[in-house]
Structure 1
Amino acid sequence: MAFEELKKELEERRSLMHSRLASIKRDVTQGHSGDSAEQAQERENDEVVDAIGNETRQSLHDIQVALDKIAEGTYGECEKCGGEIGEGRLKAIPEAALCVNCADA
């Protein structure tokens, strides 16, 4: 199976995630309102933005691991059982590290 198309998609997604993370950092570093009621809402929003940032960082990590595996020639191998990750799964989730059977277990 040729992985060039998936590699390109992973690189595009990595770029998008970096942009999203930069935007999140800008949002988090903005000052808060002087109004206490607005501050409470802003702090709740900060928690949501922080969670999105954590998910984005995890996605970046997963994407980089997949790109590293492509470079090493181990892309498409299940990290748990060592079997092949199906082409359909990789097309749906290019950063997948587990085959369908291991992911469901």
Structure 2
Amino acid sequence: MKSDDIRREELQARKAQLLGRIDQIEAELESHEAKDWEEMATEREGDEVLHDLGDSARNELRMIEAALARLDEGEYGYCVTCGERIDEARLDLLPATPFCRKHAPGA
């Protein structure tokens, strides 16, 4: 079983990765200077993908922030619905999850 300190380090490392990814996406979106209609259409398609990736990264970042807050409050690793301990294997796979397998959305 991983300690809370190790979980915190892992969450903070992932947070740093996501912040870097978001910065790269924003820089890429700002760098586009298409010269003609065809290039602009191609860039817009790429921009949609970048926006989706950025949204996904920001969503994961919010989940990580919430998990770090639960760590600070001593509630990390417990399901926010039922209060039961979240399986260690589930936390290894989804370290920011606030739900046990039973109460996970779509379960």
TM range (shorter): over 0.9
Aligned length: 105
Residues 77 and 85, structure 2, Cα contact 8 Å, conserved in 1: yes
Residues 90 and 96, structure 1, Cα contact 8 Å, conserved in 2: yes
Gaps of 5+ in 2: none
Gaps of 5+ in 1: none
TM-score scaled by structure 2? 0.91
Aligned-pair identity (%): 34
TM-score scaled by structure 1? 0.93
Task: Using CA pairs under 8 Å that are at least 6 residues apart, name the structure with larger relative contact order, 1 or 2.
Answer: 1
Equivalences for 1:65-76 in 2 at 5 Å?
A: 65-76=66-77
Residues 89 and 100, structure 1, Cα contact 8 Å, conserved in 2: yes
**How much is the aligned-residue C-alpha RMSD, in angstroms?**
1.2
3-state SS, counterpart of residue 98 of structure 1: coil
Bigger helix share: 1
Residue identity matched to 1:41: T
- Which residue number corresponds to residue 24 of structure 1? 25
- Which residue number corresponds to residue 87 of structure 1? 88
